[in-house]
């Protein structure tokens, strides 16, 4: 009888943790400028077959100095943003990460070793009118957490199999935080057209794990199914919303 009362009490505490606790599971994002950005989910639902702007994404840089960074992470973040921009159908997205491979193919065509009518021609690469440059300014893959905290509480209160069973269900939580500074630059004049800072935050409650959809690019595979992956995806989504809302109409061409 007493154990049943205690079980109900612990479950009540667990519910309070979810509804009013310090860390609510989920994700959130903050954009410090460009708050008039449209909702991307709505925009993607609208069929768009209009003019497009020529845009390229530079490799992301690290300005956190935290020692976690690699070049492949920067390339992976750029790839994620490149794909997201392409999927809006509002941009002619120009490849820059693999540009050396494109140049090598053109050089091969110019060497005469490739059949002339199939060779990639020199001088046909399109120039970008807009460049997106970005830097990660804040990063914490485990900003806070209480892994096993609720487990310990349940075990301590109930003891034995009751505590182990309920504690395993309660699990714990972890939070990741990321901030990205981003600029849209006119490639002809180098003028900054728009700038913003995007923050992504994700909290996960461990209830047996979770699965995120969509592949991670480049060197980001180690973040799969983690709060860090969620925080990155939030940042990328908000970045795309900002770019779409701040691209001047004159850059769109039929």
pLDDT tens series, the chain, 254 aa: 655 645 454 454 445 444 434 444 455 545 454 434 444 444 444 566 789 999 999 989 999 987 888 888 888 899 999 999 999 999 999 887 766 677 788 788 888 888 888 888 888 788 899 999 999 999 987 655 554 444 444 445 445 544 444 444 444 567 889 999 999 999 999 999 999 999 998 887 544 444 444 678 767 888 888 888 888 999 999 999 999 999 999 999 87
Q: Which residue's entry shows tokens 């069929």?
A: 47
Residue among 111, 85, 94 at smallest CA distance from 246: 85
How far from the centroid of its chain's Cα atoms is residue 127's Cα?
26
Number of neighbouring beta carbons within 10 Å of residue 215: 11
Q: Which pLDDT score is estimated for 145?
A: 52
Is residue 160 in some structural domain? yes
Cβ-based neighbour number of residue 204 at 10 Å:
23
Asked whether residue 77 is assigned to any structural domain, the reply reads yes
Within a domain: 15: no
Specify if 144 maps to a domain.
yes
Assess if residue 16 is contained within a domain: no
Q: Please check whether residue 116 lies inside any domain of the structure.
A: no
Asked if 218 contacts 79 with a C-beta cutoff of 8 angstroms, the reply is yes
The predicted model scores a pTM of 0.67
The Cα–Cα gap between 79 and 217 comes to: 6
Cα(62)–Cα(138) distance, integer angstroms = 9
Give how many domains the chain has, as a whole number.
1
Given this model, what pLDDT does residue 252 score? 94
Per-residue confidence (pLDDT) for residue 44, from 0 to 100: 46
d(CA 82, CA 87): 9
Q: Hey, is 242 helix, strand or coil?
A: helix
Helix (H) or strand (E) holding 11: helix 2-20
Range of the domain at 142: 2-7+27-48+56-94+131-248
Instruction: Give the burial class of 191: count Cβ atoms within 10 A of its Cβ; 0-12 exposed, 13-18 middle, 19 or more buried.
Output: exposed
Helices (DSSP H) in the chain: which residue ranges?
A: 2-20, 40-45, 71-87, 99-110, 149-158, 160-170, 227-246
Q: Residues 40, 62: contact at Cβ < 8 Å?
A: no
Q: How many CA atoms lie within 13 A of 192 on its CB side?
A: 8
Residue 120 lies in a domain: no
Q: Supply φ then ψ for residue 187, to 5 degrees.
A: -70, -25
The two tokens of residue 97 are 């990460």
The whole-number pLDDT of residue 117 equals 85
What's the sign of the alpha-carbon dihedral 22, 24, 30, 36? negative
Q: Is residue 150 part of a domain?
A: yes
pLDDT of 50 reads: 84
CATH assignment at residue 141? 3.40.50
Alpha carbons 52 and 16: distance in angstroms, whole number: 49
């Amino acid at each position: 009888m007493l154990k049943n009362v205690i079980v109900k009490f612990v479950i009540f505490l667990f519910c309070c943790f979810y509804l009013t606790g310090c860390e609510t599971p989920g994700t959130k994002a903050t954009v410090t400028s460009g708050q008039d950005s449209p909702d991307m989910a709505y925009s993607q639902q609208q069929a768009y077959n209009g003019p497009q702007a020529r845009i390229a994404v530079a490799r992301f840089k690290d300005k956190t100095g935290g020692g976690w960074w690699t070049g492949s992470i920067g390339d992976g973040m750029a790839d994620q943003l490149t794909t997201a921009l392409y999927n809006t159908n509002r941009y002619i997205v120009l490849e820059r990460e693999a540009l050396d491979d494109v140049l090598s193919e053109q050089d091969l065509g110019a060497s005469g070793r490739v059949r002339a009518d199939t060779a990639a021609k020199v001088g046909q690469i399109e120039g970008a009118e807009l460049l997106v440059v970005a830097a990660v300014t804040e990063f914490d893959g485990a900003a806070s957490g209480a892994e096993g905290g609720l487990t310990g509480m349940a075990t301590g209160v109930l003891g034995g199999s009751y505590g182990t069973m309920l504690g395993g269900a309660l699990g714990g939580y972890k939070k990741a935080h990321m901030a990205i500074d981003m600029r849209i630059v006119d490639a002809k004049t180098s003028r900054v057209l728009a700038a913003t800072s995007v923050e992504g935050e994700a909290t996960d409650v461990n209830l047996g794990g979770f699965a995120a959809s969509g592949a991670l690019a480049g060197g980001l595979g180690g973040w799969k199914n983690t709060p860090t992956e969620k925080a990155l995806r939030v940042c990328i989504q908000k970045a795309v919303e900002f770019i779409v809302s701040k691209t001047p109409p004159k850059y769109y061409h039929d």
